[in-house]
Amino acid sequence: MLEKFVDRLPIMPVIQPSTIKDQIPFYEVTMKESMQKLHRDLPPTRVWGYNGVFPGPTFHVFRNQPVHVLWKSELPEKHFLPIDTTVHGADHGAPEVRTVVHLHGGVTPESSDGYPEAWFTPGFQQVGKYFTHRVYEYPNGQAATNLWYHDHAMGITRLNIYAGLTGMYIVHDKEELSLPLPKGEYDIPLIIQDRSFQDDGSLYYPSEPTPPVEGVDPSVLPDFFGKTNLVNGMVWPYLEVEPRKYRFRILNGANARFYGLSLSYCVPFIQIGTDQGLLKHPVSVRNLLLAPAERADVVIDFRSSAGEEIVMTNDAASPFPQGKLPNPKTTGIVMKFRVKKHLSSPDHSRVPNYLSTYHVMNEKESNNERNLSLGMRPDQYGREIHLLNNDLWSDPITEKPRLGDTEIWSFVNVSNATHPIHLHLVKFQILDRQPFDRDMYEKEGKIVTTGPRVKPALNEQGWKDTVRANPKEITRIIMTFTPYAGLFVWHCHILEHEDYEMMRPYEVVVKRGQARA
Ligand code: C2O
Ligand code: CU
Ligand code: CU
């Protein structure tokens, strides 16, 4: 077993533009294979990284200052992880190594959003049918928050992300910069992911589920959970901190694992932001639950912990919520903070009581409501196939909100798992969650609720782009489809589900006589 807390927490390099053209910063990022040390006692691991590092470099951008990024691939022609060619998008002789970059949470026009079928191969030798252009344009017309970029290639997203294709993208604005929050070296992104390794240091991702499925190998899995936790690409690292406040921008970047994070001695997380920006007021949280793709902006106050060691632990079951609890010696451990450094300067940072203001959406603002089921059925091999509203990716588009319209989407979860549902383009607010009678729904197709509507937790009340839709509950979200018309996707962010049909295109359509953007 690998020893814990022997490697220092890496901090991803900050990427700089290669030039500035017409006042627009221009970045170049090359996806490359490299060998990277992920733990002191592991031989170097083959990873795929943006600019050859895992996780990729961190972007810092400013609200309303657009940037352009040329994403290109110099990855090998062969994948090193097992591709299931019965999965849509990875079939019919599709090139093994395809990538397309999506800025998760970005308000991005369709041509730069990284549509799963807009993939390209190394050197742009081949491109998918939706490929539009090489240079992506990010307008950044959105509030300060923590976004992330990751691969989104149809049918192999789980493998490309597992190989390492993830990175942080931080949007700043005046409001956020004016707050007296911890800054500079006291403001650190944390990307939490799980991975398994072979003895030679290589990443382990099984080619078949247990028990195996007759007739398909490699086969997609219902989900995959690694045996170790990594933060910023290092297995169980430690960070030396001063007895002062730190800001951590936490991302759950795992394929399928949920994290229920706590700190030793009941030290709380002071949550200041959600997926899509600052909360109105800080919320003190002792157990911070994050599904894949969810983010939490938090402050941890180490002032009264001088000399102590504070471990960040995880207690979320996998699959969530009904699966196995993590092993308290392995997957139940995330990282350690050693409050051993001396205070290098007085800590003038504060977490103000008022962080931000935003419009709280009311269900009366909605022009349209949709009930969308989250379910599954067996495929021809007896494997689980997860579906949104019983439709396959290739079925005709059914969600066509009009540009500028506000809609309520109600996710009716008839499965046993919590699905983190994510929509591209828009931010939303969670209205409520309500239990319903699943048997009745399955037998008669009728929704009979069995309890009251419950408001989301305080730390879920800001703007979100990914929501946990729990089993046997109806989760309602509300959002306005703006500012771009076009073709986008919505999906479950458990990557094994997303790759195997739990993803659908949706289209923001233009009303007669309305401008496109
Ligand atoms: Cu984070 Cu469609 O993705
Ligand atoms: Cu996204
Ligand atoms: Cu799912």
293 lines ligand 1 (CB under 6 A): yes
Ligand nearest to the CA of 292: 1
257 lines ligand 1 (CB under 6 A): no
pLDDT < 50: residue spans in the chain: none
Q: How far is the CA of 41 from the centre of ligand 1 (A)?
A: 33
Token digits of residue 176: 């956020």
Q: Which atom of ligand 1 is nearest to the CA of 116?
A: 2
Token digits of residue 9: 């927490």
The C-alpha atoms of residue 367 and residue 317 are separated, in whole angstroms, by 38
Return the H-helix or E-strand segment holding 491.
Answer: strand 486-492
User: Are 466 and 291 a contacting pair, CB within 8 Å?
Assistant: yes
336 lines ligand 1 (CB under 6 A): no
Beta strands in 118-225 (DSSP E): 135-138, 145-151, 166-172, 187-197, 203-204
- Amino acid 517: pLDDT: 59
| Span(s) in the chain for CATH 2.60.40.420 | 19-172, 184-339, 363-508
**DSSP strand pairing (368-378 vs 406-413):** parallel
The string of DSSP letters for 356-398 reads ---PPP-GGG-SEEEEEEEEEEE-TTS-EEEEETTB-TTSPP-
Dihedrals phi, psi of 91, to nearest 5 degrees: -100, -175
Q: How far is the CA of 495 from the centre of ligand 1 (A)?
A: 9
Token digits of residue 156: 């192999």
152 lines ligand 1 (CB under 6 A): yes
Domain 184-339 sits in which CATH superfamily? Cupredoxins -  blue copper proteins (2.60.40.420)
Domain 19-172 sits in which CATH superfamily? Cupredoxins -  blue copper proteins (2.60.40.420)
Q: Which atom of ligand 1 is nearest to the CA of 489?
A: 2
Cα 410 to the center of its chain, rounded Å: 21
The C-alpha atoms of residue 193 and residue 230 are separated, in whole angstroms, by 5
- 310 contacts: CB under 8 Å, gap ≥ 6: 263, 264, 265, 267, 302, 336, 337, 339
438 lines ligand 1 (CB under 6 A): no
Helices assigned H by DSSP within 152-275: 157-163, 174-178
User: Are 50 and 167 a contacting pair, CB within 8 Å?
Assistant: yes
CA distances from 25 to 69, 137, 228 (A): 8, 10, 38
Q: Which atom of ligand 1 is nearest to the CA of 498?
A: 2
The C-alpha atoms of residue 448 and residue 445 are separated, in whole angstroms, by 9
Q: How far is the CA of 424 from the centre of ligand 1 (A)?
A: 7
Token digits of residue 101: 């970059």
Q: How far is the CA of 245 from the centre of ligand 2 (A)?
A: 31
Helices assigned H by DSSP within 196-251: none
Enumerate the β-bridge partners of residue 249. 189, 297
278 lines ligand 1 (CB under 6 A): no
Q: How far is the CA of 134 from the centre of ligand 3 (A)?
A: 31
Residues with CB under 5 A from ligand 2 (ion): 104, 424
The C-alpha atoms of residue 218 and residue 210 are separated, in whole angstroms, by 12
DSSP 345: S
102 lines ligand 1 (CB under 6 A): yes
| CA-closest candidate to residue 38, choices 248, 197, 166, 261 | 197
CA distances from 466 to 104, 194, 408 (A): 10, 19, 15
The C-alpha atoms of residue 286 and residue 154 are separated, in whole angstroms, by 37
Q: How far is the CA of 494 from the centre of ligand 3 (A)?
A: 5
497 lines ligand 1 (CB under 6 A): no
- Amino acid 60: pLDDT: 98
Q: How far is the CA of 199 from the centre of ligand 2 (A)?
A: 34
Return the H-helix or E-strand segment holding 326.
Answer: none
Helices assigned H by DSSP within 454-501: 495-499
The C-alpha atoms of residue 505 and residue 365 are separated, in whole angstroms, by 24
Enumerate the β-bridge partners of residue 68. 26, 137
> Ligand 1, atom 1: nearest CA belongs to which residue?
104
Ligand nearest to the CA of 469: 3
Q: How far is the CA of 466 from the centre of ligand 2 (A)?
A: 8
> Tell me: domain 363-508, CATH 2.60.34.10, correct?
no
Cβ neighbourhood burial of 216 (10 Å; 0-12, 13-18, 19+): buried
Enumerate the β-bridge partners of residue 72. 30
pTM summary value:
0.98
Q: How far is the CA of 424 from the centre of ligand 3 (A)?
A: 16
504 lines ligand 1 (CB under 6 A): no
158 lines ligand 1 (CB under 6 A): no
422 lines ligand 1 (CB under 6 A): yes
Q: Which atom of ligand 1 is nearest to the CA of 491?
A: 2
| CA-closest candidate to residue 114, choices 68, 163, 154 | 154
Token digits of residue 188: 């650190």
DSSP 403: T
CA distances from 447 to 228, 424, 462, 464 (A): 40, 27, 28, 26
CA distances from 422 to 13, 106, 210, 228, 355 (A): 27, 12, 28, 26, 25
> Ligand 1, atom 3: nearest CA belongs to which residue?
104
The alpha carbon dihedral of 170, 256, 287, 458 has a sign of positive
Q: Which atom of ligand 1 is nearest to the CA of 490?
A: 2
Ligand nearest to the CA of 425: 2
